[in-house]
Amino acid sequence: MDERITIAVIQGTMREQRQSSKAARFVAEVGKQFEGVDIVFVDPADFSFPNSGKDTEGKDPRYTEIVTKADGFFIVTPEYNHSYPGALKRMLDSEYAAYHRKAVAVAGVSNGDWGGTRAVEGLLPALRSLGLLPVRLTAYFPRVQDIFEENGQIKSDQADKYTKAVKGEFAELIWTARALKWGRGNL
87 backbone dihedrals φ, ψ, rounded to 5°: -65, -35
152 touches ligand FMN by CB under 6 A:
no
Alpha-carbon torsion angle 170, 172, 178, 184, nearest 10: -120
Nearer to ligand FMN among residue 5 and residue 166 (C-beta):
166
13 touches ligand FMN by CB under 6 A:
yes
Collapsed DSSP state (helix, strand, coil) of residue 51:
coil
113 backbone dihedrals φ, ψ, rounded to 5°: -85, -10
88 backbone dihedrals φ, ψ, rounded to 5°: -65, -45
Collapsed DSSP state (helix, strand, coil) of residue 132:
strand
Nearer to ligand FMN among residue 64 and residue 111 (C-beta):
111
CB of 115 to ligand FMN, least distance (A): 8
109 touches ligand FMN by CB under 6 A:
yes
Among 4, 62, 69, 82, binds ligand FMN (CB under 6 A): 82
Q: Which stretch binds ligand FMN (CB under 6 A): 63-71, 77-85, 95-103, 163-171?
A: 77-85
Nearer to ligand FMN among residue 118 and residue 167 (C-beta):
118
78 touches ligand FMN by CB under 6 A:
yes
> Minimal CA–CA distance to 104: which of 79, 81, 125, 83?
125
Nearer to ligand FMN among residue 107 and residue 144 (C-beta):
144
117 touches ligand FMN by CB under 6 A:
no
Among 50, 53, 86, 112, binds ligand FMN (CB under 6 A): 112
Looking at the chain, list the stretches that DSSP marks H as alpha helix, in order from N- to C-terminal side. 20-31, 61-69, 86-93, 117-129, 159-186
Angle made by CA atoms 20, 127, 112, in degrees to the nearest 5: 30
Q: Are strands 37-42 and 5-11 parallel, antiparallel or unpaired?
A: parallel
Nearer to ligand FMN among residue 99 and residue 162 (C-beta):
162
Residues 128-147 touching ligand FMN, rule: CB under 6 A, are 144
Nearer to ligand FMN among residue 99 and residue 108 (C-beta):
108
Residues of the shown chain interacting with ligand FMN in the complex, contacts defined by CB under 6 A? 13, 15, 18-20, 78-82, 109-112, 114, 144
